[in-house]
Amino acid sequence: MSPLGEPDNEVYRLTKSGTRALLEAVDTADTKASAAKASQDQPCDAVSAYLDTSFLGLFLRSGRLIPYAENAGELGTYIDYLESSLASGSPQATPLHKTHLKLLAYVAAIEAEAPLVLFGNGLEFLRGVRKDFDFGIHYNQSSANNKLNAVGLALARAPVVPAAFQALYRRLRQLIDRDLRNAIAHATYRVHSDQQRVDIWSKGELIASRTLKEVHDAQRDARSFQQGFIAAVSEFADAIHPDCPYVWRP
């Protein structure tokens, strides 16, 4: 952990800065929302007017209802518990258990809907081709990799995109391991704890392997991606008006 209590992780930092930069770019371009906020004298009325009017309002309000962080976050908490149990010599926890859980947690984090939906919508808003936020923007995309490809297409077409978000996108291309993701989702992987590797199968053939360290690093970075995203949106929402903080995720 960093001195500020945040994960000391490159993916966390890139995600937090890149997401915040995209949100601020959208906010700056949304002159209608700025005018609505400025029209109110009371801070909390200004926040309500902003949420009612802004392109991001629907998404920001959804955080009160949709458990964006809960599911993969709970898996991460249990992984921490398993690692603590292993360190203390508990017979109920094994490295095999931990590896299987890390694989599931990796997929849960990269497949989470919120980040890529926000990214795709934000980029299309900056391009001027989307007026309303659409939670189903990637509905026809079957995997995180395909959704990220759609985000990449929107990124290439947007006129001006913050450098911090471009850096985040490049890192996400490395984070989302298509072969590993598919093997986990389709249950075509095998963990060899004694040989410190995970074999990946596709269409009846062994196509690749990942070391247990690579699995650990992938899960850690995917979890950091989720944590950085939650932190960025929460801080952005909190700063809509300094005198009436909006809690995106209670």
pTM score: 0.93
pLDDT at position 95:
84
For range 233-242, the mean pLDDT: 95
pLDDT at 194 over 60: yes
For residue 165, is it within any domain? Answer: yes
Q: Where is mean pLDDT largest: 106-110, 142-146, 168-172, 224-228?
A: 168-172
Give me the pLDDT at residue 5, please: 67
187 within a domain of the structure (yes/no)? no
Q: For residue 113, give every residue at least 6 positions away whose Cβ sits within 8 Å of its Cβ, in sequence order, or none.
A: 68, 135
Share of residues in the chain with pLDDT > 70 (%): 96
Distance (Å, whole) CA 49 – CA 134: 20
What is the DSSP code (8-state) at residue 56?
A: T
Q: Give the pLDDT band (50/70/90) at residue 4.
A: low
> Does 182 reside within a domain?
no
Mean pLDDT of the chain: 92
Q: What is the rounded distance in angstroms from the CA atom of residue 122 to the CA atom of residue 25?
A: 9
In a domain, 1, yes or no: no
**What pLDDT, on the 0 to 100 scale, is given for residue 144?**
94
Q: Which two tokens stand for residue 39?
A: 């029209």
Region 79-89: what's the mean pLDDT? 85
Q: Say which residues have a Cβ less than 8 Å from residue 28's Cβ, sequence separation at least 6.
A: none
Q: Is 114 a member of any domain?
A: yes
Number of domains in the chain: 1
Domain that holds residue 96: 10-177+219-238
83 pLDDT band, cuts 50/70/90, is confident
Judge whether residue 28 has pLDDT over 50.
Answer: yes
120 is a domain residue: yes
d(CA 218, CA 220): 6
130 to 44, 122, 123: CA distances (angstroms): 27, 9, 9
Model confidence at 3: pLDDT above 90: no
Q: 17-35 burial, b for 16+ CB within 10 Å, e for fewer?
A: bbbbbbbbbbbebbeebee
DSSP type of residue 250: -
Between 5 and 113, where is the model more confident? 113
Closest CA relative to residue 22, chosen from 153, 141, 160, 157: 160
Q: Is the pLDDT of residue 70 over 50?
A: yes
Q: What is the mean pLDDT of residues 104-127?
A: 95
Check pLDDT > 80 for residue 159: yes
